Amino acid sequence: MDENEIKSEIFTLDRFEDRKAVLIGEHFEILIPKKLIPKKLNEGDIVHLTLSSDEAETKKREQSAKDILNELLKS
């Protein structure tokens, strides 16, 4: 994904199953944890799902993982 690329899709909040929300898009459906859905949304509401990358956070987590691995290997 290009560093500045943002992907966005429109979904319908179809239903809730257990602790998951079922979002139906034009070509597919996805399940996400219900806790990620704003409380004011109801079944039938339209939602926009936007995904973007966070290069700085990726690098931070990679460094953290390397640091942990190095600590484990020293032991």
Query: Whole-model pTM above 0.85?
Result: no
Domain that holds residue 29: 7-74
- Amino acid 5: pLDDT: 85
- State the DSSP code for 10: E
Three-state SS for 9? strand
Query: Would you say residue 33 lies in a domain?
Result: yes
- Which tokens go with 15? 């239903």
Query: Would you say residue 37 lies in a domain?
Result: yes
- Amino acid 2: pLDDT: 56
Query: Would you say residue 2 lies in a domain?
Result: no
Which domain CATH number covers 36? 2.40.50
d(CA 67, CA 46) in angstroms, rounded, equals 42
Query: Would you say residue 51 lies in a domain?
Result: yes
- Asked whether the beta carbons of 7 and 51 are under 8 A apart, the reply is yes
- Amino acid 44: pLDDT: 98
- pLDDT tens for each residue of the chain, 75 residues long: 455 689 999 999 999 999 999 999 999 999 999 999 999 999 999 999 999 999 999 999 999 999 999 999 997
Query: Would you say residue 1 lies in a domain?
Result: no
